[in-house]
Amino acid sequence: MNIIPFILLPSVLICTLSFFLLQLAVREGRKKESIQESRFDYYNMDRGDDDEDDIDLSEDELSHIIEIYDFPTEFKTEDLLKLFQCYQQRGFDIKWIDDSHALGLFSSPIAAREALRSKNPLMKVRPLSKSSSATKAKARSCSDYLLPAKERPQTSAALARKLVIGALGVKSNLTKEQREAERRKLQEAREQKRLAAKQREDAWEGK
Query: Would you state the pLDDT for residue 203?
Result: 57
The answer on 141 and 56 residing in a single domain is: yes
Asked, for residue 38, whether it belongs to a domain, the answer is no
Asked, for residue 11, whether it belongs to a domain, the answer is no
pLDDT at 21 exceeding the cut of 70: no
The answer on 123 and 169 residing in a single domain is: no
Range of the domain at 97: 51-146
CB 151 within 8 A of CB 91: yes
Which whole number is the average pLDDT over 48-58?
Answer: 43
The answer on 186 and 130 residing in a single domain is: no
Asked, for residue 73, whether it belongs to a domain, the answer is yes
Which of the two residues, 137 and 112, has the higher pLDDT score? Answer: 112
> Is pTM beyond 0.75 here?
no
The answer on 165 and 106 residing in a single domain is: no
The answer on 120 and 175 residing in a single domain is: no
Which whole number is the average pLDDT over 197-201?
Answer: 68
| Average pLDDT over the chain, rounded to an integer | 69
The answer on 63 and 137 residing in a single domain is: yes
The answer on 166 and 119 residing in a single domain is: no
Asked, for residue 44, whether it belongs to a domain, the answer is no
The answer on 194 and 117 residing in a single domain is: no
The answer on 193 and 110 residing in a single domain is: no
Q: What is the number of structural domains in the chain?
A: 2
Asked, for residue 170, whether it belongs to a domain, the answer is yes
The answer on 160 and 134 residing in a single domain is: no
Domain boundary among 102, 117, 146: 146
pLDDT in tens, 126-183: 998 888 888 887 777 765 556 666 654 555 556 555 655 555 555 566 788 877 887 7
Which of the two residues, 125 and 162, has the higher pLDDT score? Answer: 125
How many Cα neighbours within 13 Å face the side chain of 151? 7
Query: Would you state the pLDDT for residue 113?
Result: 93
Which whole number is the average pLDDT over 97-114?
Answer: 90
Asked, for residue 176, whether it belongs to a domain, the answer is yes
Which of the two residues, 132 and 31, has the higher pLDDT score? Answer: 132
pLDDT at 26 exceeding the cut of 60: no
pLDDT at 118 exceeding the cut of 60: yes
